[in-house]
Structure 1
Amino acid sequence: MKFQKFMFFITLLIFSFVSGVFAQESVDQIIKKCENAVINEPQNADAYYKLGCAYSDAGRHEDAISALRNAVALKPDFVEAHYKLGLEYKRLFMPVEAVKEFKQVVKLNPDHLKAHYNLGMIYGWAGIAKGAVKHFKEVVRIDPKCESGHFNLGVAYGILRMHKKAIEAYKNAISLKPDDAEAHYGLGYEYNQIGDREAALKEVEVLKKLNKEMAVKLYKIIQNKKKGE
């Protein structure tokens, strides 16, 4: 019995290795095919786009950027090529370049949710809360059921000390995902900021069931505010 289990384990290892080899060959073959396509059709933006996507899948992000830049140079209104290029810049921690591409995307397609979302995240990371608010508002306009869009909008409003708007955004997030501990924490924090201690403490009670550490942290913040009054 032990021998059978051992042989089954060895078979799994061999299968995994062989599958990995074939998968790598497949990626390499796709890249080669795409490279040949741009050689044969150097003015074909779609060919460069597909090559950029293939490079990205292989983890060759600098090569992907080069190919995608060729795609948008040949076809300036190529929305998905601009978006993919923005993602590649983002992966390589090049926020200025990423923002430029995502902005071009929303200029060409104002309802491109993912581009707005990425712009909101980049502005948020950079501490540019007004920019984050602008784009997360667009996210929830395009998709009112995007819970993370409402949550991030609440965070951005909170940074701007627009506490009532932050409360509204967190409530919207919670209506879509009632067990989101971070949204309940944010809501309690914002209630505390406007002096509604009772509502803040209600969020502490909710957090006790969802995340005890967050509940303790929020309660301490509420108590410290009370001492400072």
Structure 2
Amino acid sequence: MGNVIDLGSGVRAAVTERKGGVSVPPFDSLNLGLGTGDSREAVLANRRSAAEDLGFDIDRTVWMNQVHSADVLVATEPGGVGTCDGVVTTRSDLVLASMAADCLPVLAADAEAGVLAAAHSGRLGTAQAIAVNLIEAMVAEGARTDHITVFLGPTICGSCYEVPPELQARTAERTPEAASTTRQGTTGVDMLAAVTAQLRGAGVDNITSDGRCTLESTELFSHRRDAPTGRFASFIWRD
């Protein structure tokens, strides 16, 4: 289903994959996304199974109603935190989730301050620098930028993510690193490069990434490759 990644000081992260669930095509099989057209019962069963496999209780999880915004909310209890694309918590018992199928998951922690965060940075969120908003929200809750560790999940790469020239220009207006050239020689967007640049500009240097392209990696869901399809989750939590 996915491997647990040690981010240090008791902080864990994980990215789920496609196999290991009960959803039927085209959502096969470990679809964790409600609102995809899949059976609600199947998605909830998949979420329970994924959490058990990764070693935490699904009832600890915070879920966002993601809408490609740059809004960040603070979670004080498990369950639905509301409509946003970034969430921060200081509760040590909560698990934060970011859903994706080509967009970039952002997981962040200041373990010393006890602040965890997760975001969903799609093209619109990247254009609006949601990753910067996430870091600012963490600092407001007591984190220090030089103590923050960030893990960037799988996303469609800049060599695959073709967009029209006008969309590329809008996405790269604030962050020039967002502009890429695809393998076909057309205009593209590189969300991983853009968000990395945004985080460094915000003072965060400890950044690692999954490195996989969702469109090229068939073990992951990709909306551009397979729509309609499911969603994988990137989780961050403390032991």
User: TM-score normalized by structure 2?
Assistant: 0.25
Q: Which has the higher contact order (CA 8 A, sep 6+)?
A: 2
User: If you compute each CA radius of gyration, which structure gives the higher value, 1 or 2?
Assistant: 1
Q: Which has the higher helix share?
A: 1
User: TM-score normalized by structure 1?
Assistant: 0.26
Q: Which has the higher strand share?
A: 2
